[in-house]
A and B are shown apart, each in its own frame.
Chain A
Amino acid sequence: MTAPAIRISGLRKNFGASEIIRGVDLDIHRGERHAVIGPNGAGKSTLFHLISARLPVSAGAIELKGENVVGLKPFEINRKGLSRSFQITNIFHNLSVFENLRCAVLWSLGYRYSFWQRLAGLKDARQRAEAVMEDIGLAKRRDTPAGILSYAEQRALEIGITIASGADVILLDEPTAGMSRSETDDAVALIRRVTEGKTLVMVEHDMGVVFGLADRISVLVYGQIIATDAPAAIRCNAAVQEAYLGTSPHLGNEHD
């Protein structure tokens, strides 16, 4: 029996006197697509920041594939095979699309801080960056500076940078936020394709996306997980309907 992709136990985070994460226990199975939903301010993004070490943990434990990762730096966790995207687009604005992706693969290919190798000669880095560029549909924008891409293109690049290193645990923070219906459909297809065979955890407000993609769903309310279950069971869960959706009986097409 292998350890879960992520095991969170007794996790707490407070900013001064206000506690944002109030004792979260959660197991993310290997290879599952797991969505974290919850009302605004529930602490979903904070939870991601804690897992990826963007914020220090106040108390509790986080294990990545059986290994304690509390106290590690973001780049150390990344090197252990966890990669994440951001709710607010977080890319290298002055670099071209291709350079963005090549930067994302350099470490995982072992080039580290090399100043004795020419980038142009690194065939594997180029091929991997080009393959991802093809995957996210930005091949025709290869040499465009990332800063002047359209919003949807930047979101696609954000996902591309996240998956490029080949990490097997992927955290996506609101990947479809701010997208039109058709852009969202494209993004969902993209996420489905690029996370094939990997562990995916995502925060998402679009219930169409959540119920379409997720194998399991956790509901985070006021810093605590009130339910973790398969989509169908979550849809019928009375506590979820009560706490998260008021009394609405229908968990169908809610949009953020």
Chain B
Amino acid sequence: MNSAIFPRGRLLLWGGCLAAAIALPLLFKSGFVVSLLCQMGIMVVFALSYNMLLGQTGLLSFGHAVYYGLGAFVTMHALNIVGKDGGPLTTALLPLVGGLAGMLAGVLLGYVTTKKAGTTFAMISLGIGELVAASALMFPGFFGGEGGVSGNRVVGKENLLGLTWGPQVEMYGLIVAWAFLATVAMFALTQTPLGRMANAVRDNPERAEFVGYDTQRVRFLMVILSGLFAGIAGGLSALNYEIITAETLNAHTSGVVLLMTFVGGIGFFYGPIIGAILITVMQIVIGGLTHAWLLYFGLFFLFMVLMAPGGIASVIAVQRNLWLAGLLGRMLPHYLAVALPVLVLLAGLVGLVELSYALLAGEGVGAGDTATRVMTMEFHLNTPGPWLAALGTTALGLLLTRWIGSRAGVAWNAALATLHGDKA
């Protein structure tokens, strides 16, 4: 019955997250990490804006990149108009221009897409997404054609605290500030009449109509507001990368944000934050290690859809409930016991994937593509040794996982039964 906007627990959590976001680049001074953090911050805003539709209003969109991309292009043009003569504050406020562009796109496109919900909405959003992506190439004046549009965020004169936005770490500070503001605003929206009625429309549009609400209007408003935040994320990306191409508008971008949001968990406000951070790290870290990263990506998504359809946030929520009920301690040894065979299984699978990928895609180290390198080890593809080892490891991992996993499963079910028994 706490009616404060931010009760103490929530205030601590949000403050902690903000502090961590600020502290991270101080701990890791490498340029790589700061760039990674910048991308995370942008994606967090983008994924949260996406979940305003998917998780909160029940609208599955395949065209969310449109709002993000248009926000980015408009911001970039604004940046080029302002040029070097604008002060640091002007540049810092440019993502808002992107947000307004996203919002305007939401007004124009949302009016069409929100006439219907469900599959119809998904299909129309896909169609409009492709339409905008395709027409981007037809208007090279605005979208810059193949080369895209580039700009320079560095301001000539420094005044405000000596900021020029030149160094990446200054850009990171700007992203954190925007991301924090946007996140607070999006959370606040969930606590308003419109935010709650969006949930109602998601759960049961018919009933929402019979308590006096125009469901189309609710969806429309949510699309517009979601466009605002997606546009802000796009604007941040324009400033961050200083280049934006028409590819940003296409279905791949829409697909990635859907993936992030889903993997993180659409049923929880913080789910997309987790998803955006995790997927960004996977993209960049695994992408740097192996050419087969898209395959791992796909496998991971498949695994999540099948094993944890509620996303990582729902897994965390269950653990939290177990912890509150004093049952987590009972489960921890089982988690650890399962972790070992799962690691063996993963190692085997990675071996198989890398060997196959090297063989099929010809990604070997040369010498007639008969050898490949995983990390620093070199394997010869035309000898049975590596294949047998990978197969053996996979089989062993599979057997151990099933054996130990079934015992952990019994404990898991018992814990859940106790948990729900206590509740009822």
Contacts and interface: CB of A to CB of B under 8 A. Distances in A.
Contacts of B193: 106, 111-115, 117, 119, 122
A211 B203 CA distance: 36
A115 B213 contact: no
Interface residues of B, number: 30
Given A78-B212, A83-B210, A92 B199 contact: yes
A91 B210 contact: no
Contact of B192 (A54, A93, A95, A117): A117
Given A106-B193, A117-B192, A92 B200 contact: yes
B210 A52 contact: yes
A75 B214 contact: yes
Contacts of A121: 3
A86 B202 CA distance: 18
A107 B214 CA distance: 10
Interface residues of A, number: 38
Contacts of B206: 54, 74, 90
B204 A93 contact: yes
A112 B225 CA distance: 16
A75 B212 contact: yes
Given A92-B207, A102-B196, A103-B200, A119 B212 contact: no
B221 interface: yes
B375 interface: no
A107 B208 CA distance: 10
Contacts of B189: 115
Interface string B213-239: 111011001000100000000000000
Nearest to A77: B210
Contacts of A52: 210
Given A115-B195, A118-B192, A119-B196, A94 B214 contact: no
A84 B211 CA distance: 9
B155 interface: no
B218 A99 contact: no
Contacts of A74: 206, 209-210
Interface in A159-211: 161, 164-165
A111 B210 CA distance: 16
A131 to B, nearest CB: 16
B225 A115 contact: yes
A74 B216 CA distance: 12
Nearest to A105: B211
B194 interface: yes
Given A90-B206, A112-B193, A107 B5 contact: no
B175 to A, nearest CB: 25
B191 A113 contact: no
B389 to A, nearest CB: 48
Contacts of B192: 114-119
A73 B209 contact: yes
B314 to A, nearest CB: 13
Contacts of B5: 118, 120
Contacts of B215: 75
B203 A93 contact: yes
Interface in B179-207: 188-189, 191-197, 199-200, 202-204, 206-207
Contacts of B213: 75, 106-107
Nearest to B58: A94
A108 B212 contact: yes
Given A75-B213, A90-B206, A121-B3, A106 B191 contact: no
A104 interface: yes
Contacts of B212: 75, 78-79, 106-108, 165
B214 A90 contact: no
Contacts of B202: 94
A118 B195 CA distance: 10
B224 to A, nearest CB: 10
Contact of A107 (B199, B203, B211): B211
Most buried by A among B5, B194, B210, B225: B210
Contacts of B199: 92, 94-95, 99
A153 to B, nearest CB: 13
A92 B209 CA distance: 12
B203 A92 contact: yes
A116 to B, nearest CB: 7
A92 B188 CA distance: 21
B221 A115 contact: yes
A75 B209 contact: yes
A240 B122 CA distance: 51
B191 A90 contact: no
A106 B213 CA distance: 9
Nearest to B5: A118
A103 B214 contact: no
A94 B266 CA distance: 13
Closest 3 CB pairs of A and B: A107-B212, A92-B203, A115-B194
Given A95-B200, A165-B211, 10 more contacts: A52-B210, A54-B206, A74-B209, A75-B212, A90-B210, A93-B203, A95-B199, A106-B193, A106-B211, A107-B213
18 contacts: A73-B209, A74-B210, A75-B210, A86-B207, A90-B207, A90-B210, A91-B204, A93-B204, A94-B199, A95-B200, A99-B199, A107-B212, A114-B193, A115-B193, A115-B221, A115-B225, A119-B191, A119-B196
